[in-house]
Amino acid sequence: MFDNLSEKLGGILDRLTRRGALTEADVDAAMREVRRALLEADVSLDVVRSFTEKVREQAIGATVVKSVTPGQMVVKIVHDELVATLGSDGQSIDLNAVPPVAIMMVGLQGSGKTTTTAKLARRMTQRDKRKVLMASLDIYRPAAMEQLAVLGRDLDIPTLPIVAGQKPAQIARRALEAAKLGGYDVVLLDTAGRTTLDEEMMSEAAEIKAVANPHEVLLVADSLTGQDAVNLARAFDQRVGLTGIALTRVDGDGRGGAALSMRAVTGKPIKLIGTGEKTDALEDFHPSRIAGRILGMGDVVSLVEKAAANIDAEKAARTAERMRKGQFDLSDMREQLLQMANMGGITGLMGMMPGVAKMK
Ligand SMILES: Nc1nc2c(ncn2[C@@H]2O[C@H](COP(=O)(O)OP(=O)(O)OP(=O)(O)O)[C@@H](O)[C@H]2O)c(=O)[nH]1
Ligand SMILES: [Mg+2]
């Protein structure tokens, strides 16, 4: 998602680092370029202004200009300011409440609410060993409830039985009761989306929230919609109250503006990012890692985590042994390729490696 921005910023900062001494005029010129790059990436104007202003202030400070490697110092300032804009220390889903902890998903139609619900349920079940119940409150779109039920069956995660004729708030109440009775840790409430923000949608969401008293209210927003996603977040927060944002389609060719503006404009943290259609394509949002990716410094931490989750250490040792003995054959090769595909393929891996962005 950050390819374009990454390329531009990388170029600007590269030119700075290659120069020996830096004058105030050099910094100003670079900041003008940074400003243009951010605006092109669809970052909101206010955020761009405050970002470049803060970077400039620090960059023309005496310690930078007089340091041995002023360019490097500016890169670090830009990096740190990016991290601050994205939300400093990342925040993940908070389950610290009396179970069953309700988590409510809201958002426009097609933003990825149902998919994200399933992704989250899968992660909490498999990784965090929680007992999770999913419930669809979407009584409007035909087959919406069935969609969640199918996902639940595929993942072997229970969904609330479908009862025809109930209102969303009634279903929410039933879901909480079922979760209480069944000894569930978490109950995920997948709500209906509309094509536009309307009063009916907002008041329904507010009603569900009042009934379910969710510990987290997550806005699921499509990163491809750029600034619209940010405005949407503001509107939802004012009317319903949000605890965080799940940004989907980060694997697409969005320009990154939504991710960069979201926190600064709404004050709400991005807690999750969706990186694909499959139910395992969900990641926590780590500002420092994203800043690293944007600046082409790579994201080695995510790479290592991905490897740890996908590579079977024992199998790998066996393969290495076979290779040493000269027994490595086509089926070993196939195994290797499959593991790589699991980790997001070559492009997925390359994006996380330091310096590769510039090579591309
Ligand atoms: N590439 C990609 N596709 C995604 C992601 N999240 C969701 N999708 C796709 O987006 C489409 C819509 O997702 P849903 O989860 O059904 O969206 P929704 O918000 O529940 O939609 P409604 O219930 O109709 O409002 C599906 O085809 C998903 O596979 C993501 O992170 N990356
Ligand atoms: Mg849905």
pLDDT tens digits along 224-267:
888 888 888 888 999 899 999 999 999 887 788 888 888 888 88
Question: How confident is the model over 343-353, as pLDDT tens digits?
Answer: 777 777 777 66
| pLDDT surpasses 70 at 322 | yes
190, with CB counted inside 10 A (0-12, 13-18, 19+), is buried
Measured between its terminal Cα atoms, the distance across the chain in Å is: 14
356 or 29: which carries more pLDDT confidence? 29
Of the two residues 20 and 152, the one the predictor is more confident about is: 152
Which residues have C-beta within 8 Å of that of residue 24, sequence separation ≥ 6? Answer: 60, 65
Look at ligand 1, atom 1, and give the residue with the nearest C-alpha.
276
Which domains, ranges and CATH numbers included, belong to the chain? 3-86 (1.20.120.140), 101-294 (3.40.50.300), 300-359 (no CATH)
What gap in Å lies between CA 261 and CA 338, rounded to an integer?
37
| Matching residue, tokens 């590769």 | 356
Neighbours of 278 (CB within 10 A): 11
Q: How far is CA 303 from CA 51, 264, 283, in A?
A: 28, 27, 12
Residue 243, φ and ψ in degrees, nearest 5: -110, -15
Distance 253 CA to ligand 1 centre (A): 15
Tell me the per-residue pLDDT of 25-72, one tens digit each, with 9 for 90 and over. 888 888 999 999 999 988 989 999 999 999 998 888 766 666 667 777
Mutate which of 277, 278, 284 for ligand 1? The one with the most ligand atoms within 8 Å of its CB, which is 277
For residue 237, the model assigns a pLDDT of 92
Task: Give the binding-site residues of ligand 1, using a 6 Å CB cut-off.
Answer: 107, 109-115, 138, 141, 144, 193, 248-249, 251-252, 274-277, 281
Distance (Å) from CA 109 to ligand 2 centroid? 7
Type of residue numbered 224: L
DSSP classification of residue 1: -
Q: Which ranges in the chain belong to alpha helices (H)?
A: 3-18, 24-40, 45-59, 62-65, 70-86, 113-126, 144-155, 168-181, 199-212, 227-239, 257-266, 287-294, 300-310, 313-324, 330-342, 345-351, 356-359
